[in-house]
Amino acid sequence: MAVECVEIRRHHRVGIKDIAGICLPTSVKFQSPAYSSVDAEETVEPYTTEKMSRVPGGYLALTECFEIMTVDFNNLQELKSLATKKPDKIGIPVIKEGILDAIVVWFVLQLDDEHSLSTSPSEETCWEQAVYPVHDLADYWIKPGDQVTMEVSCQDCYLRIQSISVFNSEHEMDVGKSFTKNKDLLPLGNEAELCSALANLQTSKPDAVEQTCALESTEIALLNNIPYHEGFKMAMKKVLSSLTLEKRGQAMDTQCQSNEMSCESGQNNSEQSVPEPLYVLDVSEGFSILPIIAGTLGQVKPYSSVEKDQHRMTLDLISETNHFPKETLEFWLRHVEDESAVLQRPKSDKLWSIIILDVIEPSGLLQQEIMEKAAISRCLLQSGGKIFPQYMLMFGLLVESQTLVEESAVQGTERTLGFNIAPFINQFQVPIRVFLDLSSLPCIPLSKPVELLRLDLMTPYLNTSNREVKVCICKSGQVTAIPFWYHMYLDDEIRLDTSSEASHWKQAAVVLDNPIQVEMGDELVLNVQHHKSNVSITVKQ
């Protein structure tokens, strides 16, 4: 079925043109990993997966469910023919008004004439659904009376849904760009329809060169995260403004002393020395425009640590669009001999004003060796310089979640037809579940959020590796898990919440081996330990 889903959209389409004052060029086309065609050089899965029943914010079905393919696994000839079969063209009427974000696919597995299994989002199932994000339409808004058309094939062992377009109820045909490069896949009609379709195509200027930039879905969600970029801009502006004023004061003192010496020696000191810039280093992983944002904040020399040539070309294009001098942004890995030793001085006699570290993984866990990186970074900062974030607070709460229990370990023998496989399988269970969306996780909160840990990157003496936290129970039930997340403080006033609606980060949870029965008013004591970027949480009995 075709769906509208904000969560899918923000992970697969860059929906903004301006990020904290930085304009994104129209010549840059951002693509998610789920964007691919049959004739692509590299074979990748042309879809992503989601548990649609738990997707944050939910989804709206814009069409009825429709069948796209039937495969008989007992018919060898039919299976062989899939590799050479031409794509099937499908047209589906729209039943609800909304934004076309994705085609969601699931399967009905017919075991025999009487028994079947469904992976539908409406079923209680262990399966996720396949999600084909929609790209490159001239207009994503559809309404009843329109028809969504697509081509379905399975030529390279992947089910592909391509050439998605919309037949408009007002115009005979409204065609967006195709998912494939094959011109013969455009819907055919009479001459008037074809002219109308060509007129509606969004085309670039003949001399414009489109730059494709492939990003992970979390990187696209990061670009769409407005509070993140606005927060960094404000925090960097504070630090750089303070250091600039301090530098000007020092320069004036030096100039006065120089003028006095020149007067005594009879020399004319009319030449003004060019002031040194402030150096900013962004070593966050993946694609980041923070160095470009830093470059707008005065006399700053920003360095990016992106590795991929495609990402560097895109950042150069963004710099050019925003009228940056060509030499403003530099790529730090071109200046270091050993890429494993990224944290170094900008020059032998200079220090950094700001160092941006990647402290939280998209999964919701701490980045490995983050405290060690912070220790090195502190030694590379000029007086008054800062590490971003400066510190983090870890928060958590107690919940009752049967879903987390059942997804973390095999429960008993009833669901395994009496076979006692739990003792063996459960040896391989992990203590912490990651990539969770707390906002849509089926659970009952049994306490209010509490601060579990402070990790300070600027003042490490404030850190504790082991602490006990008392948690008051506000609802009776069984404690089965402890979800946690972070507040990242760029300074004492500007913070980023990794559990917010706009966050590109997920959350994580510790699942208890044995549920704990609690009553309202009880108090549990949690033992929180931090060692080498790993955090453990246990309930003190």
Tell the CATH topology of 392-539.
Answer: Hnrnp arginine n-methyltransferase1 (2.70.160)
Residue corresponding to tokens 């269970």: 429
Question: What string of DSSP letters covers 479-501?
Answer: EEEEEEEEEEESSSS-EEETTST
> What CATH number is given for 2-168 in this structure?
2.70.160.11
Contact indicator for 179, 153 with CB cutoff of 8 Å:
no
Q: Which helix (H) or strand (E) holds 445?
A: strand 444-445
Buried b (16+ CB within 10 A) or exposed e, 167-192: bbeeeebbbbbbbbeeeebbbeeeee
Maximum pairwise Cα distance, the chain: 106
Residue 196, both tokens? 């109308």
| pTM (predicted TM-score) | 0.87
Q: What are the sequence ranges of the domains in the chain?
A: 2-168, 225-242+276-358, 392-539
Residue 387, both tokens? 């590490």
Q: Which of 155, 161, 157 is nearest to 66 (CA)?
A: 161
Pairwise CA distance, residues 42 & 27, whole Å:
23
Q: Where are the beta strands (DSSP E) in 305-411?
A: 330-331, 352-356, 381-388, 391-396, 399-400
Q: Give the pLDDT of the chain (541 residues) as one tens digit per residue.
A: 999 999 999 999 998 999 999 999 999 999 988 876 555 555 678 999 999 999 999 999 999 999 999 989 889 888 888 888 889 999 999 999 999 999 999 999 999 989 999 999 999 888 999 999 999 888 999 999 999 999 999 888 889 999 999 998 665 444 444 444 443 333 444 454 544 454 444 444 444 567 889 999 999 999 999 999 999 999 999 999 999 988 766 666 555 566 666 555 555 554 455 678 999 999 998 999 999 999 999 999 999 999 999 999 999 999 999 998 878 899 988 877 766 678 889 888 899 999 999 999 999 999 999 999 999 999 999 999 999 999 999 999 999 999 999 999 999 898 889 999 999 999 998 889 999 999 999 999 999 999 999 999 999 888 888 999 999 999 999 999 999 999 999 999 999 999 999 999 999 999 999 999 999 999 999 999 998 888 999 999 7
Query: Per DSSP, what are the bridge partners of residue 167?
Result: 147
Q: Which residues contact 525 (CB under 8 A, 6 or more apart)?
A: 468, 469, 470, 471, 539, 540
Residue 230, both tokens? 């606005």
Pairwise CA distance, residues 483 & 531, whole Å:
19
Convert the pLDDT of each residue in 214-261 to its tens digit: 999 999 999 999 999 999 999 999 999 999 988 766 666 555 566 666
Contact indicator for 150, 135 with CB cutoff of 8 Å:
no
Exposed, middle or buried: residue 332 (CB in 10 Å: 0-12, 13-18, 19+)?
A: buried
The bridge status of strand 352-356 relative to strand 381-388 is: parallel
CB atoms within 10 A of CB 512: 20
Same fold, 2-168 and 225-242+276-358: no
What is the phi/psi pair of residue 343, to 5°? -80, 95
Whether domain 225-242+276-358 has CATH 3.40.50.150: yes
The sign of the dihedral angle between the CA atoms of 244, 249, 252, 258 is negative
Contact indicator for 226, 43 with CB cutoff of 8 Å:
no
Three-state secondary structure call for residue 36: coil
Q: Which residues contact 207 (CB under 8 A, 6 or more apart)?
A: none
